[in-house]
Amino acid sequence: MSTNQRHRDVGAYALGVLDPADSFRFEEHLADCATCAVRLSEFAALESTLAAYAHPGAGAGFVQPERPTPGLLDRLLDRVEAGRRQRGRRRMRLVAAAAALIIAGPVATLALQPGAADGDDDGGRVQRYAATDPASGVSASVALRDRGWGSGVGLELARVKGPLTCELIAVGKDGEEQTVTTWAVPEGGYGMPGVEGHEEPLRTEGGAALRGTEIDRFEVRTVDGRHLVTVEA
């Protein structure tokens, strides 16, 4: 099943309506997907609300904006209650693990997730590094995963003002430089608190022929050579 389908499974998993095989596959996906980790934590509150209605009188005092049809509500409540009995403890552990994933490092882009085309993946863990440059104020988080062909690299960049054209450079321990990816920063920038429409950080991905053990650091620069931030590996 595709990665996009796995993203869509998060709601069904949170409500406990996936069958055991699909639940197992989703949990494997969740281990490397920060997007689904965030969504799972958001759905946890919804599950608790629905579970409250599974017991007569337990949901008193909660104002429900729109009332679903009785048949739909009954089916949801039955499935939530069954899911809670079967996988309640396991889901709580996964939510905790998801929270740890989010806190430890939010970069987990598609290039770093295992997939059907990853026959050359050596199964290495995702390594995460972060830094903020005191001069430019730019913050960067890098996720690195060894591949058979080199390294898959994910980048999250914040507090960068535009307009700029930038590049992420992997610098080897021997001084060799390889361009991982390039992008354009709009005038409003990325990851700019208080700037409407530009609050979200940039998230992008790429790859390098260097292995993780061969990389000394990552540098974010403008294409005309101005240094923005260095992330030690």
Average pLDDT over residues 11-29: 76
pLDDT recorded at residue 209: 95
CATH of domain 123-232: 2.60.40
Quote the mean pLDDT of the chain: 75
Average pLDDT over residues 32-36: 68
**pLDDT tens-digit series, residues 131-170:** 999 999 999 999 999 998 999 999 999 999 999 999 999 9
% the chain with pLDDT above 90: 42
pLDDT recorded at residue 222: 96
Is the predicted pLDDT of residue 35 greater than 60, yes or no?
yes
**pLDDT tens-digit series, residues 74-118:** 665 566 566 555 555 555 555 555 544 444 444 444 344 444 334
pLDDT recorded at residue 220: 97
3-state secondary structure the chain: CCHHHHHHCHHHHHHCCCCHHHHHHHHHHHCCCHHHHHHHHHHHHHHHHHHHCCCCCCCCCCCCCCCCCHHHHHHHHHHHHHHHHHHHHHHHHHHHHHHHHHHHCCCCCHHHCCCCCCCCCCCCCCEEEEEECCCCCCEEEEEEEEECCEEEEEEEEECECCCEEEEEEEEECCCCEEEEEEEEECCCCECCCCCCCCCCCEEEEEEECCCHHHEEEEEEEECCCCEEEEEEC
